[in-house]
Amino acid sequence: MHEVSLCRQLAAAVARATGGREVETVYVDVGQLRQVVPAAMGFAWTFVVKGTALEDASLEMRTLPAELACRACGASSRLGSDLGFDCRACGSPETVLTSGEQFVLTAVDVRTPPPPTTVRPGARLTRGKEIAMGRFHRHDDGTVHVHEHDDEGHGHEQDEHGHDEHGHGEHGPGTHSHDGLPRTGSAELDQLIGDHSGYGTGRERIEILEDIYAENDRLAAANRRALDAAGVRAVNLMSSPGAGKTTLLARTLAALEGRLRVGVVEGDIETPLDAERLAGYGAKISLLNTGDGFGGECHLDAPMVATALRGLDLSSLDLVIIENVGNLVCPAEFDVGEHRKAMVFSITEGEDKPLKYPVMFRAVEAVVLNKMDLAPYLDFDRALFLRNLRAVNPDAVVIEASARTGAGVDAWIDWVTQDSRALDRITPHG
């Protein structure tokens, strides 16, 4: 499940940011186009943190709507439920996404340790090591004092309980009560009424703003540098399960054998089956079983591909094709260091898929419309599919093919080899 993988990365980021402190709440902002289901996210979080130091940490997720800015008229608008990317104001397709793809760890609440020294309740200190939110905390004026706030947490930044109004800067020991009870004039009684007596731990909010994809993107850039240094072009090939990636790759390798030095990164959840189907064409295959130490991911990410690339001698290759895990959701979200993304779409999948999986269909430069040999037996509406595709991706190259019969595969081979340095060694087709 997509959410499990995201929660794993999130948990790692939280652990990095909090250094083993006890975490109460994790706050994330998730863009609408990340296609994260809040309930599934909550379930995945519970599953991922079970038995870890984050076991008791709860997850607060906020969904941010997708927003478009129009290059033609300047208007900004929200993506509608139909997920069309045209400007709502003027209808222009020249829009850029300004929000909706975030996945950001914004903050965590951690438990703060009890105050290091015994502090007389209500005592006014001038120095505090910790900006804490709880009984022992510091205010903007630098005052540190100890008193009880309601246990459900409060934000001094948001001024939820109105410190400004009651002026912590001015008051002396034991002269205020947060719960609105009248002062008795007796410091001792005020202490009791206001329950300023405890020295429990408090809560501190740590602002983080870490893009969960940032770590992946750094490694993707490193992969790309390694490929570039070796003069190798890389294509990330994606699709839903069974659309025909491996069948198309087998034909591709057969056609390029002896003409272009090809390496394949084969991403598969559990089995070596796809890799075995690609053996015998002279290509180097690096198998990545994502169930193998990577926790059964539903996509390839940059660290996995970095591992796989180490299994290929890049200096002896011209082109690397990465067969991603069959999945229309998250593979598109992870830059693995490729130069171009393409997808195989089987005409058995239904014309509505571009609208249901816009992130995938937007991410690619080429769509292979596969299993065209089945067209006579299906009621696939090609024009409707193309209309839906154009609504989310006006520029993608569409290649109609049958990986089974080989029809149209030449056009795909032209596309996939088009900027490989050894292109001049390829004899023209036909």
**C-alpha to C-alpha distance for 54 and 384, rounded to whole angstroms:** 48
The one of ligand GTP, Zn ion, none whose footprint includes residue 92, by CB under 5 to 8 A per kind, is: Zn ion
Determine which residue in the list 18, 102, 236, 246 makes contact with ligand GTP, applying CB under 6 A.
246
Whose tokens are 């608008």? That residue is: 77
**Pair of tokens at residue 104:** 């950001």
Stretch that binds ligand GTP, among 121-129, 169-177, 294-302, 402-410 (CB under 6 A): 402-410
Q: Does 5 contact Zn ion by CB under 5 A?
A: yes
| 349 near ligand GTP, rule: CB under 6 A | no
Long-range contacts of 377-381 (CB under 8 A, 24+ apart): 378/347, 378/348, 380/347, 380/348, 380/351, 381/351
403 touches ligand GTP by CB under 6 A:
yes
Interaction residues for ligand GTP, span 362-381 (CB under 6 A): 370-371, 373-374
We find the least distance from the C-beta atom of residue 386 to ligand GTP, in angstroms, to be 18
Residue 57, exposed/middle/buried by CB under 10 A (0-12, 13-18, 19+)?
buried
Query: Residue 244 interacts with ligand GTP (CB under 6 A)?
Result: yes
| Cα(127)–Cα(20) distance, integer angstroms | 25
Q: Is residue 265 within the footprint of Zn ion (CB under 5 A)?
A: no
**DSSP three-state, residue 10:** helix
Strands of 262-268's sheet in order across? 284-289, 262-268, 319-323, 233-239, 340-346, 366-370, 397-400
Q: Which stretch binds ligand GTP (CB under 6 A): 114-122, 146-154, 162-170, 243-251?
A: 243-251
Q: Which does 299 bind (CB under 5 to 8 A by kind): ligand GTP, Zn ion, none?
A: Zn ion
Tokens linked to 331:
């593979």
Q: What is the DSSP string of 152-211?
A: T---TTTTTT-HHHHTTTT--TT---TT-PPP-S-HHHHHHHTT------EEEEEEEEEE
| 339 annotated among ligand-binding-site residues | no
Q: Which partner from the list ligand GTP, Zn ion, none does 2 bind, CB cut-off 5 to 8 Å by kind?
A: Zn ion
Question: How far is 415 from 110, CA to CA, in rounded Å?
Answer: 52
Q: Where are the alpha helices (DSSP H) in 95-170?
A: 163-166
To the question of whether residue 330 is assigned a binding role by annotation, the answer is no
Q: Applying CB under 6 A, does 400 fall inside the site for ligand GTP?
A: no
Would you count residue 331 as binding ligand GTP (CB under 6 A)? no
What SS3 state is found at 109?
A: strand
Give the residue among 162, 165, 132 at the shortest CA–CA distance from 146: 132
Residues 297, 78: Cα–Cα separation, whole Å: 31
Q: Is 75 in the site for Zn ion (CB under 5 A)?
A: yes
Q: Pick what 243 binds: ligand GTP, Zn ion, none; C-beta below 5 to 8 Å, kind-dependent.
A: ligand GTP
- From 191, 246, 324, 417, residue interacting with Zn ion (rule: CB under 5 A): 246
Among 177, 191, 216, 239, binds ligand GTP (CB under 6 A): 239
389 binds, among ligand GTP, Zn ion, none (CB under 5 to 8 A by kind): none
Closest approach, Cβ 246 to ligand GTP, in A, equals: 3
Neighbours of 260 (CB within 10 A): 22
Applying CB under 6 A, the site for ligand GTP has a residue count of 17
Distance CA 306, CA 78 (A): 37
Contact indicator for 222, 280 with CB cutoff of 8 Å: no
Answer for which of 87, 146, 317, 328 binds Zn ion (CB under 5 A) is: 87
Question: How far apart, in whole angstroms, are the C-alpha atoms of residue 2 and residue 256?
Answer: 34
Q: Does 70 bind Zn ion (CB under 5 A)?
A: yes
Considering only residues 143 through 172, tell me which ones interact with Zn ion, judged by CB under 5 A: none
Q: Which of residues 248-307 bind ligand GTP (CB under 6 A)?
A: 274
Where does this chain bind ligand GTP (CB under 6 A)? 239, 241-247, 274, 326, 370-371, 373-374, 402-404
Which residues fall in the annotated binding site for Zn(2+)? 70, 73, 87, 90
Where does this chain bind Zn ion (CB under 5 A)? 2, 5, 70, 72-73, 75, 87, 89-90, 92, 245-246, 274, 298-299, 330
